[in-house]
Structure 1
Amino acid sequence: MAYYLKQAGKNLWHGKFSIFPEDLAVHAISTRLGGVSRPPYDTLDLALHVGDEAAAVRENRGLFARSLGLDARRIVTPEQVHGDVVACVDEQDAGRGSQSYDDCIKETDALITDTPGLPLMLCFADCTPIVFLDPEKRAVGIAHGGWKGTVQSIAAKTLARMTEAFGTQPRDVLVGIGPSIGPCCYEVGAEVAARFCAAFPYAEELLLHETDGHVHLDLWEANRQQLLRSGVPEENIEVAGECTCCRHAWYYSYRADQGKTGRIAALISLRS
């Protein structure tokens, strides 16, 4: 199993998880390359809420969606607030947030669906994309795993909501944990470390590492452990292992770009 980058057009790239069957779902993690946005959002900014020109973002979304054989006007995307709310969406939600931030799914950090041809998309700049595919019940999801969502168990709650809505069994689920700030770069303060220790009894052993007197947090492992402890087999989880801060020439990084930057996206859509 491996995460890899695949060129999809003129300087346009798809981050792909080999674990996901291409005949069941279309998926990709975007990079920051191949779009039309100007600095500091250069160039494939896919977020309508960060100060970029809306027309440029809509054009970028069109470029990205067409490279996947999808219609950007059908994308469903939420207002991400670093919480733990999971929304189940269907055909009546098609297009919400795709062209205007005003009509996105409000105050939501994960989306799930079993509707074919309905693209789910969330945006990221250092937070962790967590992409789900249930090949048995034919359902998909994406969660936004920043530190606040992760400490609230957003990955486990997304899986639980898929079980509730679609009858998903954790043993069947395939999960990709996408590019985000890695433990190499994610230095956190005492308050964040304490929150993780309070939430996860294994935090000090598996999630928090001290380097040169500074505490670093491993969001990849934090989300992987949630999934393992929810019943997802280890071989069903693929971790990209790409640090957005180290590789911010390829990915947007809030930390590396000092807060003013665009957003990559994670997208998945069941095939019709």
Structure 2
Amino acid sequence: MENYITVDRIKKEFDFVNLVITTTNIDAKNEEDLFKTFSEEEFNLKKLTRNSQIHSSIVNKIDENNIGQRIDGDALITNVAQVPLLILTADCVPVVIIDPKNKAIGVAHAGWRGTYDKICKNTIDEMVKNYNSNPEDLVCVIGPSIGACCYEVSEELVEKFNTNLANHAGKFDIIKDGKHYLDLWKINELTLKDCNVKEENIINLQICTNCNHDKFYSYRKHNKTPKRIGTMIQIK
């Protein structure tokens, strides 16, 4: 098994970025693992920037003044080259947002709380504000995370989402044997579409971490593991 996977369409169409998603071969939370895995030509890890993730909807803009700082929040945006942005997950949804026209990038950590608070919308709004991004130009990747096949939740939580996303109520709840399963992928897709991201520009890898726990960390399957998948992107 490789230390990381890439996304074919991103590699083929967008040569100004590097995007990787790590596997269980390494723990992306451990920066030593990242330094051992990636060369300086691939990622300038001396400028690695990530949040102190708090399951919020806070988006931090990274510029020359705060590279490498660890700030409370759950999304990052930048248009600065040679600054890797890192999101850590182990069932929560990592969402990558690429603006090929304005050469800007964003990453979001969308657990159920961040998904509920529409962190993807907040990230896009900040990219529009700071980089003049047009949502119709954006290409988004939904990375490995727990799927509706495995994400059992309470009926109460489902109702919270139905109320919050009234226009889409009932489109993301699967009931099996009387149990409710929430589709965070679908909710984030709907949020992106509501922001005017084109459907053909939403790349959902559809990799469930719980089902694929041999390759990706799963908080539920791996008994609340502290180890994390890293979704990392850098402008070259």
TM-score, normalising length: structure 2: 0.94
Q: Match for residue 178 of structure 1?
A: 143
Structure 1 residue 202 displacement after superposition: 4.3
Q: Give yes or no for the alignment of 1:211 onto 2:184.
A: no
* Aligned-partner residue type, residue 228 of structure 1: K
Q: For 2:41 and 2:52, how far apart are their aligned partners in 1?
A: 23
Aligned residues: 235
Once residues 64 and 259 of structure 1 are traced to their aligned partners in structure 2, the CA distance between those partners, rounded to angstroms, is 25
Structure 2 counterpart of 1:23, which letter?
Answer: D
Corresponding residue number in structure 1 for 2:6:
15
CA RMSD, 1 decimal = 1.6
User: 2 CA distance for matches of 1:93 and 1:129?
Assistant: 22
Does residue 25 (structure 1) correspond to residue 7 (structure 2)? The answer is no
Counting only pairs closer than 5 Å after superposition, residues 1-272 of structure 1 correspond to structure 2 as 11-19=2-10, 21-33=13-25, 44-47=26-29, 57-66=30-39, 69-96=42-69, 104-105=70-71, 107-271=72-236
Hey, what's the Cα distance between the residues in 2 that align with 1:133 and 1:235?
Answer: 14
| Change in CA separation of 1:15 and 1:192 when aligned onto 2, cut-off 3 Å | farther
Shift of 1:157: 1.0
SS at match of 1:137: coil
Is the contact between residue 15 and residue 31 of structure 1 (CA under 8 Å) also seen in structure 2? no
Structure 2: state its 5+ residue gaps. none
Change (3 A) 1:84 1:119: same
Q: Is the 8 A contact 1:62 1:71 kept in 2?
A: no
Equivalent pair of 2:99/2:137 in contact (CA under 8 Å): yes
- Shift of the 24–67 alpha-carbon distance from structure 1 to 2, 3 Å rule, reads same
| AA at the equivalent of 1:133 | I
Distance 2:98 2:167 in 1: 27
Q: Could you give the per-residue CA deviations for residues 57-100 of structure 1, whole angstroms, max 9, x where no partner exists?
A: 2320212332871122211000111110001111232233xxxx
Q: TM-score, normalised by structure 1?
A: 0.82
CA positional deviation for 1:118: 1.0
* Structure 1 residue runs without a partner (length 5+): 1-6, 34-43, 48-56, 97-103
CA–CA distance in structure 2, aligned partners of residues 19 and 211 of structure 1: 35
